[in-house]
Chains A and B, each alone.
Chain A
Amino acid sequence: MRDHSITRNEPVPYSTGQPLVPAWRLLWNVRRATLLIFLFRSAFALSLSLPAADLVDISSYRHPQASPIPGGDALLLVEIVREALPALRQKALIGIGIVLLYLLLVPYLSMLWLCALDRPGPIQNSGIEASRRYHASFLLSLLFLFAIALSISASFCLYRLLQQALWSGCIDAVRDLISLAFLLPGSLLTLFLFVLHDLSRAALCSEKRILNAIRLGMRATFRPPNIASYLYWFGLAALLTLVSALVMLFLDSGPTRSCLTLFILLQITALGRTALRGRWWISALRFIRDQKRPNSASFRP
């Protein structure tokens, strides 16, 4: 497949100099794509969780009114898993299959979402553009998967090496903390790779070549405010999860406990996190745009 069409009629908003739409407004404008991503992911999640729920459900083995085992009720799970092990193996295989299928679709979905956010318009157009970029996006993600795995295992090896090498008279706590501290560079590198992966994918919206996209992404990643922005949106998503966990705890002990409330709360959280992720993509796309226009580089969170 040739990519002539992209170069021929690429409607690049930043090159036309049209005013920037406020980020949240933009996210609202492309809500259909965002919702599509959310629904798609939820469908996969449901196909993973339904069989798991069947296996794990304690309530089918115990009547809710039956007296609990003192300090051992949850251990029924062990028994259930033991009984269900043959079925579990089969379901685990299906689960792995589902996850693999999902991973194959991820490059397409991320490009669809990014293209929709980059050039708002009919969702079909974004779909077509995403299919043109699937190959590049897939290779890019594969490359980063490899790099991230390498960085994590390298920092783990460093930790083990230090644990072995440090002098025996050394205080155990000091040695453990020093080895832990040496996990930090590895973690920073891993964080850097995560941001780079995202920004390179964002760059892939306007760049055909993987290497160019990575170069652009690299330039954007080296700007600390951009990493800060990533951490900001990521932190907000984590905060949202934390808040909903707290609300859940309250629901669990409170009188208003109900499955439906729980379901709605969790789904609002998941949807909220998807929106925050979309908001980060918008920032990422703008960082790439800034890299292409060096004279107007400025940080807009």
Chain B
Amino acid sequence: MIAGYHSFAAAAAFSLIVGIAFFIGTVTNAARADGKTSERHRYRIEAYLDARRHIVEATEWIDWYNHSDTWVNQLYFHLYLNAFKNDRSVFMREQGFRLRNQKLRRPGRIEIVSFQTTNGTDLLSKSSTDLIPNDATQMVTTLPRPVPPRKTLSLVIKFRAYLPQLVARSGYDREFNFVAQWYPKLARFCSDGRWISFPYHGLGEFYADFARYQVSVNVPSSYIIGATGKRTASRLEGMRRIDTYSAEPVHDFAWCAYPYFERFVFSTAGPRVYLLAPHGYRAVIGHHRRAIRAGLRRFGRLFGAYPYETLTVIIPPKGAEGARGMEYPTLFVTSGPWFHFPKLRVPFANSQTVTIHELAHQWFHGLIANNEVEAPVLDEGVAQWASADLLRALYGRSRSGLSLGNLSFDIFELIRAAFYWKKSPYPSSLLAANRYSADELIYSVYLRPPLVFETARRVWGKAKFERAIGNYARTQRFRHPTLNDLFDSFNRVYWPRFARDFLIPALTAESTFEARITELRVQKTEHTWQTSLTAVRPDRTTIPTWIVLHHRYGGQTKIAWPAGQATLKTIHAGNREVVAATLDPYRSNLLDPSLLDNNSAVKTKTRSGALLALLLFWAQSFLEVIGP
């Protein structure tokens, strides 16, 4: 198709700025046999939404470019909507926890009506979905003639997407349609000629090449659409409207259609933001807008500017909660109530947390497109740190997590408290997504990595950390990094073995970074007070920390405890009496599993009278309610 060439030129120019290596790759691949100048795959889809039956009928044209040096005789496709075909698919088995209370009232699937090359060779008969028993989310097609290196293969697929009742990510609820993972999509093809394909997993889904998309959607004219990319054309045809969207370079395309959306548009320093919310959400729009603006600014500064012209944010209506909290290129689905209290930031009335997390995904998975199944820590783990960091930038460290009058929490301390609530150790954070149970995924991928990253930031300083993660984000933009790329970036900024010394032991939970004060004794000699202090770090790997001695009547003495030293024994003599000692007083080591042994007071335990008085009163009040 012709439309969209301008945006392609802009993106090609952009790649020049982003990375020389990438640029060289693209230029050498630019010449093509058919005379067009594209080294990126191209998808063009014309889709018709049957809003009553929740079926999308579509024709898809794919120009697939063999950017490897090998001849390719097989194509791998994802037919991820087939995950909802029955409850035996990999997705449904892995997602069982989510669906326990909701039966799939209407299954969903993709039906391929025809599949040909543009010159008419049938490929449907040469395709099979039997890669995994009971799971039809992948399709392999054997080509009659292999595709030579640097050549393009053009395909036409006619298909029908039957949307499932919305339980997770894709589907419909009454008039709301969320159309994601809905078209036959090529799996990731590596430059060494390998395909990387996996079924639709319950806890990980994206890994695909960047491509150029042009999608036109035909919907009843009363429906409001949110979609990946920028709307380039819109026309009415009787009672229907046809909107065309272009996006490049992105690795997926999702859209949603609902007649009862209210559309809020606002500009930022970067993209134009389209916020679609059900009626009645006016009160929280400003709240979301503030989070999005601040996020675009901060993430742009840390990880490189948001490169697209649009960002679409969707708040799903009640009943369609299955779609919420999900990220797609240039589009994400947030959640949150229709009300909010400016002075009160508690989980149930908080509209910003999900928005910020999903916005962080625009970088970590949208632009820096790692394999989500192989290394979920690279998208979820890093996005969690980035979103917590943004909350800190917005509200200050001590109020970043929660603020309720005088009660306020640091978001990282909250994450830490949640992570260490159970004492049992969770598996390494570096496993593949499908190797975790849902519970383990939350602890190992969502909670531990932000603590590890933040500990690195607090112990060795903000500047170093931001340089390391920023370099990683900028050099890996529009690429498919692995864990090693992240570690290399840290090694370059910190020291050559930093990942081995700190990141890997912390992320794999090889080390606990436990530290504790074991003894604090104070003796009075003739003229001086003698304080002897012993502290231990039982683990092999250690990080530098501080110990503070508190004097009676105020004042402190700071003692440095460098890394590598397992036991600290120190005798401090002075003319002031020491009454307590605190290990890691600035709370840099968020990985220490126990805080209670980080403090030691000379004074022995006394019962707090105020606490007892309060507890007694509460107990009296309770007994009053149930009593005479």
Contacts and interface: CB of A to CB of B under 8 A. Distances in A.
B174 A263 contact: no
A298 to B, nearest CB: 27
A174 B280 CA distance: 8
B620 A262 contact: no
Interface string A33-76: 00001000110111011101110111111110111011110111
Contacts of A79: 417, 420, 594-596
A113 B624 CA distance: 14
A121 to B, nearest CB: 19
Contact of B399 (A49, A71, A99, A241): A71
Interface in A1-55: 37, 41-42, 44-46, 48-50, 52-54
B627 A102 contact: yes
Max chain B Cβ within 10 angstroms of own Cβ: one of A57, A70, A171, A266: A70
A52 B611 CA distance: 10
A171 B591 CA distance: 45
Max chain B Cβ within 10 angstroms of own Cβ: one of A46, A52, A61, A71: A71
A69 B548 CA distance: 13
A44 to B, nearest CB: 6
B612 interface: yes
Interface in B580-628: 580, 582, 585-587, 594-596, 599, 601-603, 605-624, 626-628
Interface stretch (B26-34, B153-161, B185-193, B403-411): B403-411
B578 to A, nearest CB: 10
Given A65-B550, A76-B595, A241 B606 contact: no
A69 to B, nearest CB: 5
A144 to B, nearest CB: 12
Nearest to A38: B620
A109 interface: yes
Interface string B404-445: 000111100110110011010000000000000000000000
A60 B600 CA distance: 10
B544 interface: no
A277 B401 CA distance: 41
Given A78-B421, A109-B628, A241-B621, A53 B607 contact: yes
B327 interface: no
Nearest to B593: A79
B347 interface: no
A209 interface: no
Given A53-B607, A171-B280, A74 B409 contact: yes
Contact of A263 (B400, B587, B594, B613): B613
Given A83-B596, A273-B624, A53 B399 contact: no
Nearest to A259: B609
Contacts of B175: 168-169
Nearest to B399: A71
B421 A169 contact: no
Max chain A Cβ within 10 angstroms of own Cβ: one of B587, B595, B607, B617: B617
Given A63-B580, A63-B603, A172-B280, A41 B627 contact: yes
A260 B610 CA distance: 8
Interface residues of A, number: 63
Contact of B317 (A58, A168, A262, A266): A168
B338 A176 contact: yes
B564 interface: no
B454 to A, nearest CB: 13
A183 interface: no
Contacts of A42: 616, 620
B407 A74 contact: yes
B605 A60 contact: yes
Contacts of A57: 607-608, 611
B71 interface: no
Given A63-B599, A67-B582, A168 B623 contact: no
B626 A103 contact: yes
Nearest to B551: A65
A270 B621 contact: yes
Contacts of B556: 67
A80 interface: yes
Nearest to A62: B599
A110 interface: yes
Contact of B628 (A59, A80, A113, A263): A113
Contacts of B611: 53, 56-57, 59
Interface of A: 37, 41-42, 44-46, 48-50, 52-54, 56-63, 65-67, 69-72, 74-76, 78-80, 82-83, 99, 102-103, 106, 109-110, 113, 163, 168-169, 171-176, 241, 259-260, 262-263, 266-267, 269-270, 273-274, 277
14 contacts: A49-B618, A53-B608, A61-B596, A61-B599, A65-B552, A66-B550, A66-B585, A70-B587, A71-B400, A74-B407, A75-B414, A102-B626, A259-B613, A263-B609
